[in-house]
Chains A and B, each alone.
Chain A
Amino acid sequence: MNDKLNQILQKQQQQVDEPHKKEDDVIQLVGFIIGQEEYAVPILSIQEIIKPIEYTRVPSVPTYILGVFNLRGSVIPLIDLRSKFKMDPAKVTEDTRYIVMKGVDNTAGFVIDRLTEAIRIKSSRIGPPPETIHAEKGMVYGIGMRDENILTILKVEQLLKRDF
């Protein structure tokens, strides 16, 4: 009896310990779709995700900057990732969302086609970005291998950097 109890206790202890061990090299991401591909950004760099709201066009900026919108009293720029990645424009649908990302000194909203899910991925399964991706140059942190598909993980700091 005592043996059995000890076994159970040990097992429980193991369960408590294990996630800790794992968590060290697991990265939490939020996945989303733009065009045909699935992209992801670290969950901690996301301030919030909102449904599309009205925005105001800003003159003399590149076309991928749609304008600015009002996020509870702050004026936040809105960037169209489709256009930034040189894809064809798409209509706003029921699934369209703005992901508001926060960097060190910038905050911006990004238009995406559809959210997928929260993703946990081991850092060992993230490979370096392929050299051939031109439109997304410098913005890709790495490629995440998953069982059923691959993910393009974006560099948030780079997305938030002004490049015009």
Chain B
Amino acid sequence: MEDIQEILEDFLVEAFELIEQLDQNLVELEGNPDDLELLNSIFRVAHTIKGSSSFLNFDILTGLTHHMEDVLNKARHGDLKLTPEVMDVVLESIDLMKSLLHAIRDSGNDTSVGIDITDICRRLDIISNGEPVANVVVAAAEVDESPTPTYEENDDNTDYSKLSDKEVEDEIERLLKMRKEEDRKRKETSSAAKAAAVPTPSFESLKDGDEETPKVVEPIVAKRASAEANAPAKKESASAMEQTIRVEVKRLDHLMNLIGELVLGKNRLLKIYDDVEERYEGEKFLEELNQVVSSISLVTTDLQIAVMKTRMLPIAKVFNKFPRMVRDLSRELGKQIELEISGEETELDKSIVEEIGDPLVHIIRNSCDHGIEDGATRRANGKAEMGLIQLKAYNEGNHIVIEITDDGKGLDPDLLRSKAVEKGMITEREADAMTDKEAFALIFRPSLSTAKVVTNVSGRGVGMDVVKTNIEKLNGIIDVDSEVGHGTVIKLKIPLTLAIIQALLVGAQEEYYAIPLASVLETVRIPLDEIYTIEGKNVLRLRDEVLSLVRLSDIFGVKQVYEGGEHTYVVVIGLAESKLGVVVDTLVGQEEIVIKSLGDYLQGIEGIAGATIRGDGRVTLIVDVAALMNLAKGITVDIRASAEAVVKTKTVPSDYIVLAVDDSAMDRNIMKKSMEPIGVKVLEASNGQEALNMLKSAEYSIDAVLIDIEMPRMDGYTLAGEIRKYSKYKNLPLIAVTSRTSKSDRLRGVESGMSEYITKPYSPEYLESVVRKNIKL
């Protein structure tokens, strides 16, 4: 019983693969009806499915493929011309075949779904009988009122439907024996072929063998032969094709997760190395450590790429269904359309391949329906009657670009603008301010369609919205370009993988966020006075574009702890067809990050796509660019005004607080005494750790710190370094007060971030003046 189940599964996997191939070959054949090689391979595919399904007792499927095979066989012998009408029927029967196979997969038999094949069989019969070719000798011998099998040169003409159970069993027994015999023969043939060491596969010999082979034996032989016939250019030997192994996707996902952990570990190691390098500069062991760290980081990257590659599928998986689709559409719409595919070998992550299908279907349908004009119009416009759609895929850096080009009538930006205004999506003024590119982007808005009539292909204004949503989900970018009368180019730019991405780390006040680098177009540093406000919105003129601006800290409600300088950084992000400038306080840099989910509890927080763990072990949130763009619309903070409204709460000297850090109580007292004349409040800490905790707790707003260098627990240099790690303390005056007077000590003070360096002993007046200068009193 289990054996049967296994055979059934094998059959299904094989059948689905074959049928996909069949579809493609048939469409190709229509354009090239004399290609005997192609016809032969199609015939064999049909035959293989028939053979296997009769072996497994799927009578309906067997019957259907049998009738189909009749027609194909005639065509193969030149007795029948494959007109588009004939092809329609054949393709229709292939669709039926697919439904039957689905039924078999779901319910284990082909009878339960009640698919009726009598009509299609009758039509197939009419085709194979009804043509005037009936007088041809071969056909005459075979055409009968009953659907007699027409296996060419087969010694076996048994009609299984007429056999009793017992007879069927005997037949199977007999066929199995033959199959075994054939298997043995085949092995000999192929090993003989290998021994001959011919670079080309033993296609000829296989084909010969195949012709004498009874039908049940055929599946294996035919499959191999057709596979080879299908890829004659590759000239791969059959044995090379068996060098693959099917692996559960779940296992690969697990592997990918583990690699993710490894990448995090690597990032952490790199960070630690950086710290160590700073501290122990010039030490010998650093060299060795450096080698280990870089080799680990190299191997990790390679490993990651290797695992990513195992998850990659050629985009042909998706592209393959389009020739058939375009063919059907062109028949339905009464247009002549040719589809040209290139770059189908380009590889993409499996999860992306699964998502990309739908958007492409919609784009291509749109191109067929709205893009390409009918034959008469094209001729009148001086174009070739045959419309052309090009589907192209290629790699560009860490992205794959899919380009859909048609030579149809193109998009009319003015028409789009007026349509959008008519539907109330945009105002008249907005429409006037729109560039052509922005107008093209309107096609992605839901319920906007320029089609005058709604056909059952498109025109409802839903499809392109689907495109946008799906591409955004993949962090992709859509670019539309069009010229009236010449056609449209739609470019989809999609990242290669989803689990591990490159990100730009930015700081908003004291918080850090990761923006997927795929969505980052550029970063610029601008003076604040270049930000203008138009209708309550902040905008920036960047080259010839006007860019809306929004502060990241306004979107995420980040607590304002310090005010920036006169310049600020703008990260220009682009998603699908829109752009936005995000104002951030710091740019940290580019990093490879592993996307982690926030878990069920925090699922679906607007603006956050997930989290990652950085090299220092902290969690950094990843920005959801699509949601961010939405959130930005609701924010009306005047950036310039709020940046200029510096909150000056401290007016009198007693509002100011100076922190004195020294392990000697006497020294702290001297400092206190020296500052008495200024009238500031003085806090004390006896070591670096204590001082750091006071600063971290943010209980007091400290205006300056006096730091002794030599202290227990944490020395002055380390303290200064730690303080400078906080962006809000970037400009906090740190005054070293020490008896270390050598030049190298001073230098180290500067390196660790001290702003002043006072050597002991000092006069109280000197300290007072330095503090005054630094807190501007």
The number of chain A residues with a CB under 8 A from chain B is: 25
Q: Which of A55-63, A117-125, A148-156 lies at the interface with chain B? A: A55-63
A106 at the interface (CB under 8 A from B): yes
Assembled-state Cα–Cα distance A77/B596 (Å): 13
> A61 with B618: in contact, given A70-B613, A73-B613 (CB under 8 Å)?
no
> Which of chain A's residues have a CB closer than 8 A to the CB of B600?
105-106, 162
Q: Which of B518-568 contact A (CB under 8 A)?
A: 555-558
Verify A160–B601 contact, CB threshold 8 A.
yes
Shortest distance between the CB of A79 and any CB in chain B (Å) = 9
- What 0/1 pattern do residues 41 to 56 of A give for CB contact below 8 A with B? 0000000000000111
Q: Tell me which of A75, A91, A108, A160 contacts B619 (CB under 8 A).
A: A75
Complex CA distance for A91 and B696, rounded to whole angstroms: 13
Q: Given A76-B599, A77-B599, A162-B600 in contact, is the A56-B621 Cβ separation under 8 Å?
A: yes
With contacts A56-B511, A56-B621, A70-B613 known, is A106 near B605, CB below 8 A?
A: no
Shortest beta-carbon distance from A40 to chain B in Å: 22
Docked-complex contact A60 and B611, CB < 8 angstroms: no
CB distance from A75 to the nearest CB of B (A): 5
Digitize A65-108: 1 where CB-to-B-CB distance is under 8 Å, 0 elsewhere: 10111100111110000000000000100000000000001111
Would you call B137 an interface residue if the criterion is a C-beta within 8 Å of the partner chain's C-beta atoms? no
Query: Which A-chain residue is minimally distant from B511 (CB atoms)?
Result: A57
Q: Which residues of A contact B590 (CB under 8 A)?
A: none
Q: In the complex, A105 Cα to B596 Cα: how many Å?
A: 16
- Which residue from chain A places its CB closest to the CB of B605 in the assembled complex? A60
B619 contact set on A, CB distance < 8 A: 55-56, 67-70, 75
Task: Type the 1/0 row for B585-607, where 1 means its CB is closer than 8 Å to any CB of A.
Answer: 00000000000111111110111
Residues of A within 8 A of B685 (CB): none
Contact A162 B511 (CB under 8 A): no
Most buried by B among A57, A74, A91, A107: A57
Q: Do the beta carbons of B618 and A107 come within 8 Å of each other?
A: no
Closest CB of chain B to A47's CB: distance in Å? 13
B605 x A59 contact (CB < 8 A): yes
A59, B618: Cα distance in complex, Å: 16
User: Are the C-beta atoms of A106 and B613 separated by less than 8 Å?
Assistant: no
Interface range on chain B (Cβ under 8 Å from partner): 20 to 34
CA distance A67 to B556 in the complex (A): 13
| Contact partner, A59, options B261, B264, B607, B620, Cβ 8 Å | B607
Identify the closest chain B residue to A105 (Cβ).
B600
The interface residues of chain A lying within 8 Å CB-to-CB of B602 are 58, 61, 65, 68, 77, 162
Q: Which residues of B contact A76 (CB under 8 A)?
A: 599
A55 to B618, CA, bound (A): 7
B608 contacts the other chain (CB 8 A):
yes
B260 (CB) vs chain A CBs: closest residue: A73
- Could you say which residues of chain B place their CB within 8 Å of the CB of A55? 619
Docked-complex contact A56 and B264, CB < 8 angstroms: no
When distances are taken between beta carbons in the complex, the residues of chain B under 8 Å from A91 are 697
B232: interface (CB < 8 Å): no
Residues of A with C-beta under 8 A to B596:
74-75
Q: What residues of chain A lie closer than 8 Å to B697, measured between beta carbons?
A: 91
Docked CA distance A4–B607 (Å)? 77
- Closest chain A CB from B271 CB (angstroms): 14
In the bound assembly, the distance between CA atoms of A75 and B617 in angstroms comes to 11
User: In the complex, what distance in Å separates the CA atom of A61 from the CA atom of B604?
Assistant: 11
A54 B556 Cβ-Cβ under 8 A = no
Contact A106 B601 (CB under 8 A): yes
B621 CB contacts on chain A under 8 angstroms:
56, 58-59, 68
Whether the pair A77, B606 counts as a contact (CB closer than 8 A) is: no
Looking at the assembled complex, report how far the CB atom of A96 sits from the nearest CB atom of chain B, in whole angstroms. 14
Nearest chain A CB to B625's CB is how many angstroms away?
Answer: 15
The smallest beta-carbon distance between B194 and chain A, in angstroms, is: 50
- Judging by beta carbons under 8 Å apart, are B599 and A107 in contact? yes
When distances are taken between beta carbons in the complex, the residues of chain A under 8 Å from B608 are 58-59
Contact between chains at B261 and A68 (CB < 8 Å):
no
Q: How far is the CA of A77 from the CA of B597 in the complex (A)?
A: 11
- A6 to B354 alpha-carbon distance, docked (Å): 75
B613 nearest in chain A by CB position: A70
Q: How many Å from the CB of A131 to the closest CB on chain B?
A: 28
Q: Mark B612-633, 1 if CB is under 8 A from A, else 0.
A: 0100011111000000000000
Contact with A along B200-244 (1 / 0, CB 8 A): 000000000000000000000000000000000000000000000
Residues of B within 8 A of A61 (CB): 602, 605
Say whether A75 contacts B556, CB under 8 Å: no
Most A Cβ at <10 Å: residue of B558, B598, B599, B608: B599
Q: Are A75 and B557 in contact (CB under 8 A)?
A: no
Q: Of all chain B residues, which has the CB nearest A56?
A: B619
Distance in Å from the Cβ of B221 to the closest Cβ of chain A? 51
Q: Which residue of B lies closest to A67 (CB)?
A: B619
Alpha-carbon separation in the docked complex, A74 to B600 (Å): 13
Contact in complex: B599, A60 (CB < 8 Å) = no
B598: chain A residues within 8 A (beta carbon) = 58, 68, 75, 77
Closest Cβ of chain A to B538, distance in Å, is 20
Q: Name which of B261, B597, B602, B606 has the most chain A CB atoms within 10 A of its CB.
A: B602
A146 to chain B, nearest CB (A): 32
Contact across chains for B611 and A75 when beta carbons are under 8 A apart: yes
C-alpha spacing A137/B650, complex, angstroms: 45
Near B by CB (< 8 A), chain A positions 100-141 give: 105-108
Q: Which residue of A lies closest to B614 (CB)?
A: A70
A77-B601 CB under 8 A given contacts A68-B619, A70-B617: yes
Considering only CB atoms, which chain B residue lies closest to A68 in the complex? B619
Measured in the bound complex, the distance between the Cα atoms of B599 and A67 in whole Å is 12
Q: Output the least CB separation between A106 and chain B (Å).
A: 5
- Give the shortest distance, in Å, between A125 (CB) and chain B (any CB): 32
The residue of chain B having its C-beta at the shortest distance from the C-beta of A91 within the complex is B697
Minimum CB distance partner of B617 in chain A? A70
B264-A68 in contact (CB<8A): no
Chain B residues, Cβ within 8 Å of A58: 598, 602, 605, 608, 621
Scan residues 124-147 of chain B and give those whose CB is less than 8 A from a CB of chain A.
none
Residues of A within 8 A of B613 (CB): 70, 73, 75
Q: Is the Cβ of A56 less than 8 Å from the Cβ of B601?
A: no
Name the B residues within 8 Å of A107 (CB-CB): 599
The answer to whether A73 touches B556 (Cβ under 8 A) is no
Minimal beta-carbon separation of A4 from chain B (angstroms): 62
Bound together, the chains give a CA A75 to CA B613 distance in angstroms of 8
Residue pair A56, B620 in contact (C-beta under 8 Å) = yes
**Contact (Cβ within 8 A) B599 A70:** no
Chain B residues with CB below 8 A from A70, complex form: 613, 617-619
Interface centre among A58, A65, A106 (most CB of B within 10 A): A58
Q: Which chain A residues border B264 with CB–CB below 8 Å?
A: 73
A68 touches B611 (CB 8 A): yes
User: Which A-chain residue is minimally distant from B603 (CB atoms)?
Assistant: A162
Bound Cα distance from A61 to B602, whole angstroms: 8
Closest to A161 in B: B601
CB proximity of A29 to chain B, nearest CB, Å? 23
Of all chain A residues, the one with the shortest Cβ separation from B602 is A77
CB distance from B179 to the nearest CB of A (A): 51
Q: Give the complex CA separation of A56 and B600 in angstroms.
A: 17
Give the distance in Å from the alpha carbon of A61 to the alpha carbon of B601 in the complex: 11
- Closest B residue to A55 by CB, please name it: B619
Q: Nearest-CB distance from A53 to chain B (Å)?
A: 9
Residues of B within 8 A of A (CB): 261, 264, 511, 555-558, 596-603, 605-608, 611, 613, 617-621, 697
Known: A56-B618, A59-B607. 10 other contacts (CB 8 A): A55-B619, A58-B602, A58-B608, A59-B558, A61-B605, A69-B619, A70-B619, A91-B697, A160-B601, A162-B602
A-B contact pairs, 11 of them (CB 8 A): A56-B618, A60-B557, A68-B611, A68-B619, A68-B621, A69-B619, A70-B613, A73-B261, A73-B264, A75-B619, A77-B599
**5 residue pairs, one from A and one from B, having the closest CB atoms:** A59-B556, A56-B619, A75-B611, A77-B601, A68-B619
